[in-house]
Amino acid sequence: MRTVSNMCTMEGPAAESSKDPRPCSRVFRASYILQDLKPSVLYRIASGLLVLFAIGHTIGFRQTDPQWGVESLVASMRTIRFDVQGFSRTYWDFFVGSGLFVSVFLLFAAILAWQLGGLSLQTLRLLSTVTWALATLFVGVTFLSWKYLFIVPVVFSALISFCLIAAAWLARKQETGSVRVANGPNLPAT
């Protein structure tokens, strides 16, 4: 049993027993659970999800379903050629090229997340701009997936965003060696 403030006593990561009749806040419970996680674990999970996302994207982005009724559109995208800055291209070329760019960047993000997972907390603190930029990028990817795509990329990008945000937050929180309690003092982490 660990008493973390005068308003809440925790047993195990998510227990809700309390000295006060008010329950522990959800924000506090989440921060209590997350404090035992290491940023490296979250970065490695994000990296694995990114590799799966890249594989799925690379295999799936050129697929069509006959029920969509887009065969004639795809056929015209593949056959109608035009000149662009000295190159003869089709819209299908642009579509495939753009899709493969996305796959390459997903793999780069996977490598970056894996490398971040191997760094010490001190080094992660020095790279906080990079860690928060990567997390913010995937929040943007999640929004764009939700607005323009479908459930699989939304779920993948949301999970990746969660892992990256939690890892960046943990690296910052573990730097101070304390846990902030909502409406309470900073308490030493144990």
**What is the three-class DSSP state of 64?**
coil
Cα–Cα distances in angstroms (integers) from residue 81 to residues 24, 76, 77, 93, 109, in the given order: 64, 9, 8, 10, 33
CB within 8 A of 36, min separation 6: which ones? 13
Q: Which helix (H) or strand (E) holds 4?
A: strand 2-5
Q: Where are the domains of the chain?
A: 1-36, 37-188
Residue found under tokens 């929040």: 139
- Per run of 10 residues, the mean pLDDT along the chain (length 190 residues) is 48 48 58 74 98 97 92 94 95 96 98 97 95 98 97 98 96 63 48
Where would I find the H helices in the chain? Answer: 26-35, 39-60, 71-79, 91-117, 121-126, 128-148, 151-176
* Residue 173: per-residue pLDDT: 81
**What is the three-class DSSP state of 1?**
coil
**The amino acid at 106:** L
Residue found under tokens 């960046």: 168
* Residue 37: per-residue pLDDT: 84
* Residue 7: per-residue pLDDT: 47
* Residue 8: per-residue pLDDT: 52
* Residue 2: per-residue pLDDT: 47
Rg (CA), the chain: 23
Cα–Cα distances in angstroms (integers) from residue 56 to residues 51, 73, 74, 150, 177, in the given order: 9, 23, 20, 13, 39
Q: Sign of the CA dihedral 127, 132, 133, 134?
A: positive
* Distance of alpha carbon 4 from alpha carbon 180, whole angstroms: 10
- pTM score, whole prediction: 0.74
* Residue 48: per-residue pLDDT: 98
* Residue 29: per-residue pLDDT: 63
